Each structure stands twice: as C-alpha cells, then as structure tokens.
Structure 1
C-alpha cells in the first residue's frame, strides 16, 4: 500500500481559535461523507513536510508564511482518498499563530471548491463538545499538551 505524506496545519488566531474546513463529498469515492479538518494536504515530490505546509497555507488560506516551525505531532493511519485509492496516511502537524487574516480562496483547486463547504474558527471548548466529525479528533489534547500555558483542556 502506498504511503501518502501530508502536512497539516493547526492555524490559530488571536482568540486562540483554530481554523477548520468542512468537507462534504458528493461526487467522488467519499460521497456522503462530511467532516471538519485542518488545513493541509499531500507533500509533493522534492518537498519537505515544512515546505508542503507553507505551500498548503498559501493555497488554502492566502497566507504566505516561509517558516511553520517544527512538527509538533504525527499520526499514521489507513485512509481512502476521494479517488478511491486506499493509502497509509503519514501526517505531520505544524502550528501557526496569526493575528488576523481574511481567508482567500482564489488558489483552491476545482476539487477543493467542490468539497469545501464551510470554514469556521473553533475554540477548544467547542471542539471538545461537538458531535460533528473532526479530523484529527484530538486537537484539544494536542494543543494543551504542546502549549499548556495557553490551552487548557
């Protein structure tokens, strides 16, 4: 099974909220699935995880950041892609703090335009109490573990 490397970004605003996108699949192999997920995507040939994180931030939010800092956590799991291919996802997570930013969608791919239905800033309390599907499902624990002085679970 192919390993798909991916960079994920926990984008945190001045109110200590994290930006998530709501994906709703209608016409691909994941049709009928709906979930919230972090910014990010696959690492392209020749890229590091950090370079992919910077590129994904630019493509998905319009933020041009040259350094996302070190990876704070990883996860690996089997997943199905919208193309129907099943892969082993190898994800590295980065945290980026911003003051204020209007999300720009002009660099979204056609597929992103079709499946990203909403964007929302979530506080940790909302994430802990939601009944909706969120990936990864342990964002509050990740942030409170790595930033205990800022985030309390």
Structure 2
C-alpha cells in the first residue's frame, strides 16, 4: 500500500449512494427516480421543505453546505427547455423564496445557484431536472476539502429542515 500522506475521514453513510443504494436512480424513468419516489413519502422522511403546485423543495442528502436545497419539478422531466410555462414560473419563484428562507434561517453571505443538464455536465440524477441552491459564507471554502478530502457540515439534515420549514412558513 502506498503512503499518500492523506488522512482519512470515513463517511460510511455515503456508501448507500456510491454503491447504488436506495437514493440512486435506477434507469431514466420515474419509477427509478429518487425525486419522483420522494413525492409519495412524508415530508420529514425525505427532507422536503415545501410543496407547490408544480415543484417542490427538498434538502440535498449529500450537501455541499448546510442548507443545500434543490427545487424539483413534480413531473419527471430532464431538460429545462421541456418545462411548461407554469413549471418554469414556479421553479423561479420557489428559488427566490428558498433564498429568502435560507437568509432568514442561516444568514448566508451569498449563494451558488444552478442546474447541471445531463450527466456530461455533472448531473448526478440527469433524468429529473433539479436546481441547486447552495448557501455560502465567507471562509466556508476552508482547508478541509483540500487537505482532508472532505466537507464539514455543521448541522444535521432534520435540524436544517425544521429551521427552513419555519422560515418558509414565515414568508407566506
């Protein structure tokens, strides 16, 4: 075994995702899609923050930062250009509301917002469109991802979800 001088921080909870567990897509259809399957489960089980008419907002199970949200159409659709006008409008509106809720709950200094279209562009679940909203803080890009090859998330997902559900409700 070679000594690469890297220290290891073990994250066995990610193995279900890496090995193709229950959170991975199976094929391109809605039956194998984790976003489609999550819609039939209780919000607190799948970390859904809010549901709209055309879209829903949920926490990313493998977040880049605490509060990493995704806005997903309810319909199983892969490409942004295939959204209906109603889906497009609600996706935009829920992105704005998500930013407001995150500001109220976590006071981030900025955001990364975007979507990866297709697996070649980095989409982990390419068959179901989703927009990422990643809150950012000055200094959050520290040495851990570079030196420790890991990301530190300071809050458990259920705690983050509770704060965001409350913040979202206060917006209405």
Normalising by the residue count of structure 1, what TM-score does the alignment of the two structures yield? 0.29
Which protein has the bigger strand share?
1
Which protein has the bigger helix share?
2
Structure index of larger Rg: 2
Normalising by the residue count of structure 2, what TM-score does the alignment of the two structures yield? 0.26
User: Bigger relative contact order, structure 1 or 2, given CA contacts below 8 A and separation 6+?
Assistant: 1
